[in-house]
Structure 1
Amino acid sequence: MKRTTSRPEDAHQAALLRLLRDGGRSRAELADVVDLSRSKLNVELDRLVELGLAEQDGLAASRGGRRSSRVRLSPMTRFAGIDIGATSIDVAVTNGELEVLGHLSEECDIREGPAVVLDQALNLVGRLRQDGVFTELNGVGIGLPGPVSFAEGVPVVPPIMPGWDRYPVRETISQELGCLAMVDNDVNIMALGELHAGLARHVEDFLLVKIGTGIGCGIVVDGKIYRGVSGSAGDIGHIRVDDLGPVCACGNSGCLEAYFGGAALAREAAAVARSGGSPYLAERLAATGVVTAQDVAAAAAQGDAGAIGLIRDGGRRVGQVLASLVSFFNPGLVIIGGGVARLGHILLAEIRSVVYRRSLPLATGNLPIVLSEMGETAGVIGAVRLISDHVYSA
Structure 2
Amino acid sequence: MQPPPSARDILVLAQIVDLVRAGAAMTRPELEAATGLGRTVVNERLREGVELGVLAEVDAVPSGHRRGRPSRSVRFRTEAGLLLSAALGAVSLHAAVTDLAGNELARDFRDINVQDGPEAVLGAVHEVFGELVRRAGRTVPVWGVAVGVPGPVDVASGRTVAPPSMPGWDDYDVRSWFQCRWEAPVWVDNEVNLMALGEWERGVPRERRDLLYVKVATGIGSGLVTNGRLHRGDSGAAGDIGHVRVTDDRSARCRCGKIGCLEAVASGWALMRTLSKHAKSGESPLLAERLARRGRITAEDIGLATAAGDEVARSAVASSARLTGRTIAGVVNFANPGTLVLGGGVIRYSPLFFEEFRSAVLDGTIELAARNLTIRTASLNFAEGTIGGALLAAHNLFRPSALQIWLGAGTPVGSALCLQTAA
Please give the TM-score of this superposition, normalised by the length of structure 2: 0.85
2:12, 2:228 → 1: CA distance? Answer: 18
Instruction: Kindly report which structure 2 residues correspond to 1:90-109, keeping only aligned pairs within 5 A, or say none.
Output: 90-109=94-113
1:84 and 1:143 in contact (8 A); partners too:
yes
What do residues 106-155 of structure 1 show as CA deviations (whole Å, max 9, x unaligned)?
A: 22111111111111111111112333244410111111110000011010
Q: Does 2:231 match 1:226? A: yes
1:389 Cα deviation from its structure 2 partner: 0.6
Q: Which shows bigger deviation, 327-336 or 259-268?
A: 259-268
CA contact (8 A) 2:330 2:365 kept: yes
Identity, in percent, stands at 36
Kept in 1: contact 2:101–2:394 (CA 8 A):
no
Letter in 2 for 1:113: G
> Alpha-carbon deviations, 1:324-355, whole Å to 9, x = none?
01111111000011112322421111111111
* Corresponding position of 2:91: 87
- SS of structure 1 residue aligned to 2:151: coil
Q: How does 1:252-331 map to 2 (within 5 A)?
A: 252-331=258-337
CA distance in 2, matches of 1:110, 1:36: 49
Flag the structure with larger Rg. Answer: 2
* Counterparts in 2 of 1:344 and 1:26: CA distance versus 1, 3 Å: farther
Within 5 A, what are the aligned runs for 1:1-394? 9-10=10-11, 13=14, 16-17=17-18, 20=21, 26-27=26-27, 31=31, 35-37=34-36, 39=38, 45-65=46-66, 66-74=69-77, 75-131=79-135, 132-199=137-204, 201-244=206-249, 245-393=251-399, 394=401
In 2 relative to 1, CA 276–134 (structure 1 residues): closer, same or farther, beyond 3 Å?
A: farther
Return the offset for 1:255.
Answer: 0.5
Q: Which is helix-richer, 1 or 2?
A: 2
Q: 1:331 to 1:45 in 2, by over 3 A?
A: farther
Deviations 1:51-70 (A, max 9, x none): 32221122224333253322
Given that 2:221 and 2:240 are in contact with CA atoms closer than 8 Å, whether structure 1 keeps it comes out as yes
Give the Cα separation in 1 of the matches to 2:174 and 2:339: 32
Q: Give me the whole-angstrom Cα distance separating, in 2, the residues matched to 1:357 and 1:263.
A: 26
Measure, in 1, the Cα distance between the counterparts of 2:193 and 2:141.
26
Shift of 1:99: 1.1
Unaligned runs of 5+ in 1: 1-6
Relative to 1, partners in 2 of residues 1:348 and 1:206: Cα closer, same or farther, differing over 3 Å?
same
Contact 1:24 1:71 in 2 (8 A): no
Conserved in 1, the CA contact under 8 Å of 2:16 and 2:31? no
Mapped partners of 2:146, 2:179: distance in 1? 10
Aligned partner letter, 1:97: A
Helix, strand or coil for the counterpart of 2:35? coil
- Separation (CA, whole Å) in 2 of partners of 1:259 and 1:154: 28
Aligned equivalents of 1:24, 1:360: Cα separation in 2: 40
**CA distance in 2 between partners of 1:200 and 1:277 (Å):** 42
Q: Secondary structure at the match of 1:83?
A: strand
Instruction: Report the CA distance shift for 1:14/1:392 in structure 2 as closer, same or farther (over 3 A).
Output: farther
1:4 is matched with none
1:138 partner SS: strand
Could you say what secondary structure the match of 1:230 adopts?
Answer: coil
Contact 1:319 1:352 in 2 (8 A): yes
The verdict on how the C-alpha distance between 1:320 and 1:69 changes in structure 2, with shifts beyond 3 A counting, is: same
1:278-329 superposed Cα distances (whole Å, 9 cap, x missing partner): 2221221122111122111111111221111111101111111111011111
Identify unmatched segments of 5+ residues in structure 2: 1-6, 402-423
**2:216 partner letter:** I
Give the distance between the partners of 2:352 and 2:200, measured in 1 at CA.
Answer: 25
After TM superposition, give the deviation of residue 247 of structure 1 in Å: 0.6
Q: Which amino acid is the alignment partner of residue 63 of structure 1?
A: G
State the alpha-carbon separation in 2 of the partners of residues 70 and 253 from structure 1.
61
Taking the aligned partners of 2:138 and 2:255, their CA distance within structure 1 comes to: 39
Compared CA separation, residues 11 and 229, structure 1 to 2 (3 A)? farther
| Aligned residues of 1:102 and 1:133 also touching (Cα < 8 A) | no
- What secondary structure, in the 3-state scheme, does the structure 1 residue paired with 2:252 have? coil
Shift of 1:184: 0.3
Amino acid aligned to 2:71: S
For the aligned residue pairs, the C-alpha RMSD in angstroms reads 2.5
Three-state SS of the structure 2 residue aligned to 1:334 is strand
Worse-superposed segment, 144-153 or 103-112: 103-112
AA matched with 2:384: A
